[in-house]
């Protein structure tokens, strides 16, 4: 029997508004909605979708343990050092890549050497954070890493997905782009086909996985759903099981509709407003504190930033400390009256103030312009402008320190430790901070290291060469079909731990 036009219209009207086309989630398979990842080559990954996917396709050398406990070896068997300068990593036996080839010490050393040679983002972890002086594959299972200076946090760095191994086939061919389209990892899931731009890919449990935790789901269906509104509607309609973004307009609805099925976790990324200290206008600490106090971070977080960030309450974000922000950042609290007093104490004629940002960073113009408005109204500055720079212009100005006004600085840490953020940013800028970071690097326990990191943080907050604005946080919300949803501060949702129930 043919349907009438009126009948078809009635059916269409019953569909969820704005719902993108897509199959209903399958029995035992986790349907995940996410944005298009920038890359699926671990050393090039710079965004949460990339970390989410590669976190399922690769197993780390180690993963985070409980608070005040050292990382737990995963692909590594032991991580040892006689002096915290020369580290030896012995791999567990029996690990293989998804193509069946063995995971060896060369798989890691070759991948790390490629990152440094090619200038991938992973090179920042190796060069700036770890300060690697030498790498060597001693034998099939033994990696030797020599650092430029002792560092007790080295095992924590091995939790980074950026330090994942690569099979010999791509190390030999150097076809990095081709590999990123169909990545081959050593993790609990393997892709069944290449990644399709704008669509995604299917992953299934890897039968040869040597890890102790086997995937609970029959597979993962990674689906590119770039519009957060579509993600929200598709979870509601059963097309998706797990969404990784929430639209600002649905933030309150998410917390109500998914009251016990949503989670926000801190990511290892922080945004600062840095001051050009060579400019005499900003050389007085009172002026820098005044500008910081005039910024209403909460209003920005709920306004132009759409509930996607957590206003800063400390210099080091919670993702790197493993605890809630302690509220150490007094100049992060909005206080326009105190800001005005401090500005007068600084007795500085700021004249025209220009705030600089990188144009390629989505959404920055909106909230930087709002900060300019807050400085005009809160400090009575008549002339505050904003200036967008291209990526190349911004990088040149950053390397030469040639900004003629405050500038936006977004920093991502490679692994969950305060050292991974503080040392690359602050080493060499303050003798007291250098001393505290050095003491933290050789501290006997994580708790002792944390005390030195806090002392360094307090020193920086007094001097305030840059003021923290906010840290990023990830969002997850999921259907009733899922249980056991847990997150990692770097990898996002741990998909191998999730169980699908209620669909057979």
Q: What is the pLDDT along the chain (504 residues), one digit of tens a residue?
A: 334 434 433 333 333 333 445 667 678 999 999 999 999 999 999 889 999 999 999 999 999 877 667 889 999 999 999 999 999 999 999 999 999 999 999 999 999 999 999 999 999 999 999 999 999 999 999 999 999 999 998 999 999 999 999 999 999 999 999 999 999 999 999 999 999 999 999 999 999 999 988 999 999 999 999 999 999 999 999 999 999 999 888 888 888 899 999 988 888 889 999 999 999 999 999 999 999 999 999 999 999 998 889 999 999 998 888 665 556 899 999 999 999 999 988 777 899 999 999 987 777 999 999 999 999 999 999 899 999 999 899 999 998 889 999 999 999 888 888 999 998 888 888 899 999 999 998 888 878 888 999 999 999 999 999 999 999 888 899 999 999 999 888 888 999 999 998 664
CATH superfamily, region 16-35+188-261+479-500: Periplasmic binding protein-like II (3.40.190.10)
Q: What is the pLDDT of residue 401?
A: 87
Residue with tokens 């005044």: 290
Which pLDDT value is given to residue 492?
87
Integer-rounded Cα radius of gyration of the chain:
24
Strand partners, 63: 72
Report domain 267-473's class.
alpha beta
pLDDT attached to residue 21: 52
CB atoms within 10 A of CB 124: 20
DSSP 58: -
264's enclosing H/E stretch is strand 262-274
Using CA atoms, how far apart are residues 474 and 40, in angstroms rounded to an integer? 19
In the DSSP assignment, the letter for residue 120 is -
Helices 431-441, 446-463: axis angle to 10 degrees equals: 170
Strand 353-358 vs strand 219-224: parallel, antiparallel, or unpaired? Answer: unpaired
User: Residue 407: which residues within 8 A CB-CB, separation 6 or more?
Assistant: 273, 274, 276, 355, 356, 357, 397, 398
Spell out the alpha helix ranges (H) of 58-136.
105-118, 122-123
- CATH 3.40.50.1820, domain 62-171, yes or no: no
Predicted pLDDT at 226:
92
The reported pLDDT for the residue numbered 502 is 67
Q: Where are the domains of the chain?
A: 16-35+188-261+479-500, 62-171, 267-473
Q: Give, to the nearest 10 degrees, the angle between helix 285-293 and helix 336-346.
A: 160
Contact yes or no for 271/406 (Cβ under 8 A): no
* pLDDT in the model for residue 70: 82
359-394 b/e with 16+ CB inside 10 Å = b?
eeeeebeebbbbbbebbeebbebeebebbbbeeeeb
Residue closest to 113 by CA, chosen among 58, 166, 77: 166
């Amino acid at each position: 029997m043919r349907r009438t036009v009126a009948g078809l219209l009635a059916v269409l009207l019953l569909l969820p508004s704005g719902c993108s086309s897509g199959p209903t989630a399958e029995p035992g398979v986790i349907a995940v909605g996410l944005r298009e990842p920038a890359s699926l080559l671990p050393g090039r990954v710079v965004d949460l979708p990339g970390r989410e996917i590669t976190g399922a396709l690769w197993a780390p050398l180690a993963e985070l343990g409980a608070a005040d406990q050292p990382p737990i070896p995963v692909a590594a068997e032991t991580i040892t050092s006689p002096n915290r300068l020369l580290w030896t990593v012995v791999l567990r036996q029996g690990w293989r890549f998804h193509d069946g080839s063995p995971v060896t010490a060369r798989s890691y050393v070759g991948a790390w050497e490629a990152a440094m040679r090619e200038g991938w983002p992973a090179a920042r972890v190796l060069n700036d954070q770890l300060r690697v002086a030498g790498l060597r594959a001693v034998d099939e299972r033994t990696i030797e890493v020599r650092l430029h200076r002792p560092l007790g946090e080295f095992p924590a760095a091995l939790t980074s997905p950026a330090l994942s191994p690569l099979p010999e086939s791509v190390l030999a061919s150097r076809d990095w782009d081709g590999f990123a389209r169909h990545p081959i990892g050593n993790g609990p899931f393997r892709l069944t086909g290449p990644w399709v731009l704008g669509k995604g890919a299917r992953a299934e449990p890897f039968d040869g996985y040597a890890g102790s935790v086997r995937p609970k789901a029959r597979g993962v269906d990674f689906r590119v759903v770039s519009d957060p509104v579509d993600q929200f509607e598709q979870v509601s309609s059963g097309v998706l099981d797990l969404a990784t973004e929430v639209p600002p307009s649905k933030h309150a609805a998410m917390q109500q509709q998914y009251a016990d099925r949503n989670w926000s976790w801190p990511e290892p990324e922080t945004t600062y407003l840095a001051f050009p200290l060579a400019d005499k206008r900003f050389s007085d600490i009172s002026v820098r504190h005044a500008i910081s106090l005039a910024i209403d971070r909460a209003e920005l977080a709920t306004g132009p930033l759409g509930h996607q960030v957590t206003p800063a309450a400390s210099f080091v974000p919670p993702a790197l400390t493993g605890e809630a922000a302690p509220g150490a950042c007094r100049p992060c609290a909005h206080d326009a009256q105190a800001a005005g007093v401090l500005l007068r104490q600084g007795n500085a004629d700021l004249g025209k103030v220009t705030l600089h940002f990188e144009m390629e960073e989505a959404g920055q113009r909106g909230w930087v312009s709002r900060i300019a408005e807050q400085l005009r109204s809160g400090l009575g500055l008549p002339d505050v402008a904003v200036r967008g720079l291209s990526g190349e212009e911004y990088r040149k100005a950053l390397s030469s320190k040639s900004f003629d006004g405050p500038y936006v600085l977004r920093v991502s840490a490679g692994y969950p430790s305060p050292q991974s953020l503080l040392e690359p940013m602050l080493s060499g800028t303050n003798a007291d901070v250098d001393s505290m970071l050095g003491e933290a690097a050789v501290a006997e326990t994580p708790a002792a290291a944390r005390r030195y990191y806090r002392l360094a943080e307090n020193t920086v907050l007094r001097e305030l060469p840059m003021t923290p604005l906010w840290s990023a946080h990830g969002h997850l919300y999921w259907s009733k079909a899922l249980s056991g949803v847990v997150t990692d501060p770097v990898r996002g949702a741990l998909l191998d731990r999730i169980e699908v129930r209620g669909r057979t």
